Amino acid sequence: MKLELGTIHIQQFTFADTTSLQDGHLQLSKRELEQYIRTLHPQIVELEATIVNPGDSVRIMPVKDVIEPRTKLDGGCCFPGLNQGEENIVGSGKTLALKGVAVVTTGKIVGFQEGIIDMSGPGAAYSPYSSLCNLVLRIEVDEHCNQYQHEEILRRVGLMAARWIAEQVKSTPADDVECFETLPLAEQQAQYPDLPSVGYVYMLQSQGLLHDTWYYGVDVKKIVPTLMYPTEAMDGAIVSGNCVSACDKNTTWSHQNNPVIRALYRRHGQDLNFIGVILTNENVTLGDKVRSSNMVAKMAELLGLDGAIITEEGFGNPDADLMMNCHKLEALGIRTVLLTDEYAGRGGESQSLADADASADAVISAGNANALIKLPPMDRVIGHLLYADVIAGGFDGSLQDDGSITVELQAMMGATSELGIHTLSAHSG
């Protein structure tokens, strides 16, 4: 499967009477966008669209999702399964991505594990989304919607708005085009027979109770582990629908821009043979965890892997899935590297993971989500500041009278991303 990914680098993002893109300046018709969004669901009762830029004194909370505008140029659509009749397989052909901009959805809280994006100040350094020009959509729904309907409406609006924006300017030539290709298995294995075969075990949050991810429009807790071409993620085959702790939540943007997939493609043909992706879920019951990890190991063996990178989403209960996957692959002689984050207590005095295994001897930490950060007041808040005390990472007294907030990094969108999309690093003494 071969994907030509064209990108346009957006330097300036403003509202205008008509939507256009020229010389890196994306102008968006607010009127047309809002008209379009209001056709998507009758239970939308309030809609506010705002453009914010890096460095603005703006706080966005509680954030639901972040999406990069992308569209197909040769038929089909990004975010397959979103609408009936859009069940096409993605990951091939030509796709256009608008780089440097994103759609961010917010509004009244859906689940308590939603988070914060600060566009400036100390909090901005902890979120990859603060460096983007963001179209923030504050969406309020009919009071009769339950949490699941609320989540579905915001998810759908964010995805459809991102796709609509890219479609309006799809005739604009790309600034650059990258090609990504993974061959059918037998051909891929034969391409670089002298290099180690490496795969990617991609764990997705799927514990229910608003802890869900969607693959081709299917709730991931309803699937068994499956094989995926890496390029499918770039076309939106995986979208976020969960309200897990903001620091290690994989937004749709992070799935579209997964750095593990990109790094493996960069290394492909140099020091490894990138075979493909095993997509798996994170389960609630022990039996389901055993079943899924058994199937991950079976697929890794079937692919003939010598090594695998495993990334987790979330913490606590999913730590058991992570360790089961690791243990079973290592038992087959498949060397593993794990990407996770830590919940080690504010002073680092607690156990970092809820589970451990002796075979997990190559682990990359994305940081301690319990570390405290003080966020100064901002000139403007988009969303609802009053949730500061109740979101995950907040506590009674987090919100101060002057609008400043003291929270754990857990509350910051992407602060300890287990895909590695953040600015944290470690330095030896």
What's phi and psi for 203, nearest 5 deg?
-85, 135
CA distance 198 to 201: 10
Tokens of 230: 């890496």
- Does 243 qualify as catalytic in the annotation? yes
Alpha-helical (H) ranges within 281-393 are 286-302, 317-331
**Of the listed 77, 78, 145, 243, which one is catalytic?**
243
Residue 21, CA atoms < 13 Å, CB-side half-sphere? 22
CB 149 within 8 A of CB 50: no
Cis preceding linkage at 377, omega within 30: no
Residue position matching structure tokens 């996770």: 340
Give percent helix, percent strand, percent coil of the chain, each to the nearest 5. Answer: 25, 35, 40
Tokens of 349: 């005095």
- Strands in 197-205's sheet, in edge-to-edge order, are 226-228, 273-282, 197-205, 307-311, 335-342, 363-368
- What value, to the nearest 5°, has the Cα angle with vertex 381 and ends 379 and 382? 140
Burial class from Cβ neighbours inside 10 Å (0-12, 13-18, 19+) for residue 408 reads buried
- Report the DSSP pairing between strands 93-99 and 70-72: antiparallel
Residue 163, CA atoms < 13 Å, CB-side half-sphere? 22
| Residues annotated as catalytic (active site), given as ranges | 243
